[in-house]
C-alpha cells in the first residue's frame, strides 16, 4: 500500500524535475530514510504529542541540502497528511524508478564460498548484455550451499544449489541404470 502512495508522490516529483535533479533528491530521501532506522528518531516523528510544526521543522532541516522549494513542499504535505512514515517507501521507489529510467541496476550474489571478483564482473557483463542494461554486483558470503544471484529491479533470481544438482545427478544415474 505504501508503495502505491509513494509512486504517486514520485510521479509528481518527476514531472517537475530532470533526471539529475531527481537523482539528487533521491540521495536526500535515502539519507532521510536511513534516519528511520534510528528508534529515537522514529519515536519523535510518530509521537502524536509532537506537533506537526515541530515534525515539519525536523524534516525540513534534514532535506535542506536539496535546496528545493518543491521538496520542502512535499515534506510539508507529508506531515500535513500524516504520511511521514512512507518516506522510506518513497526513497526505495525513487531508487527503483531511477534504475528503470537509466537501466542501471545493482544485484547481489550470495554464496557460502568465495567468488573471484573477475567472475563477478563477468557475470555482471553477461547479464548486462542479455537485459540491455548495466548491472553491477556485490558479493555477500552466507550459508547458502551454492550460488544465488538476485537483481531486484529486474525481478531476476538465479539459483544454483549444490544439493539440488547432486540429487539431480543421482536421479539421472539411477534412471540410466
Q: Distance between CA atoms of 48 and 40, rounded to whole angstroms?
A: 14
Residues 149, 107 contacting (CB under 8 angstroms): yes
For residue 134, the model assigns a pLDDT of 92
- Tens of pLDDT along the chain (177 residues) come to 788 888 888 888 888 778 888 888 888 888 888 988 888 888 888 888 888 888 888 888 888 877 778 888 888 888 888 888 899 999 999 998 898 888 999 999 998 888 888 988 998 998 899 989 999 999 998 888 888 889 988 888 888 877 777 777 777 788 876
For residue 161, the model assigns a pLDDT of 77
Domain ranges in the chain?
Answer: 2-99, 103-176
Residues 81, 1 contacting (CB under 8 angstroms): no
Could you tell me the three cell numbers for 149?
A: 544471484
Q: Does domain 2-99 correspond to CATH entry 1.10.15?
A: no
Using alpha carbons, select from 94, 90, 105 the residue that is nearest to residue 153: 105
Q: Distance between CA atoms of 4 and 110, rounded to whole angstroms?
A: 30
Residues 13, 75 contacting (CB under 8 angstroms): no
Amino acid at each position: 500500500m505504501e508503495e502505491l502512495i509513494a509512486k504517486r508522490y514520485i510521479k509528481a516529483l518527476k514531472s517537475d524535475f530532470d533526471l539529475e535533479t531527481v537523482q539528487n533528491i533521491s540521495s536526500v530521501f535515502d539519507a532521510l530514510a536511513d534516519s528511520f532506522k534510528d528508534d529515537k528518531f522514529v519515536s519523535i516523528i510518530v509521537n502524536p504529542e509532537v506537533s506537526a510544526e515541530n515534525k515539519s521543522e525536523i524534516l525540513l532541516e534534514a532535506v535542506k541540502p536539496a535546496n528545493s522549494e518543491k521538496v520542502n513542499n512535499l515534506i510539508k504535505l507529508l506531515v500535513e497528511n500524516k504520511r511521514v512514515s512512507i518516506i522510506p517507501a518513497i526513497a526505495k521507489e525513487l531508487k527503483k524508478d531511477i534504475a528503470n529510467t537509466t537501466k542501471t541496476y545493482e544485484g547481489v550474489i550470495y554464496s557460502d564460498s568465495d567468488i573471484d571478483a573477475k567472475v563477478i564482473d563477468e557475470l555482471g557483463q553477461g547479464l548486462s548484455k542479455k537485459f540491455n542494461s548495466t548491472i553491477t554486483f556485490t558479493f555477500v558470503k552466507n550459508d547458502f550451499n551454492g550460488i544465488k544471484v538476485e537483481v531486484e529491479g529486474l525481478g531476476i533470481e538465479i539459483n544454483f544449489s549444490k544439493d539440488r544438482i547432486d540429487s539431480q545427478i543421482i536421479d539421472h544415474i539411477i534412471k540410466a541404470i
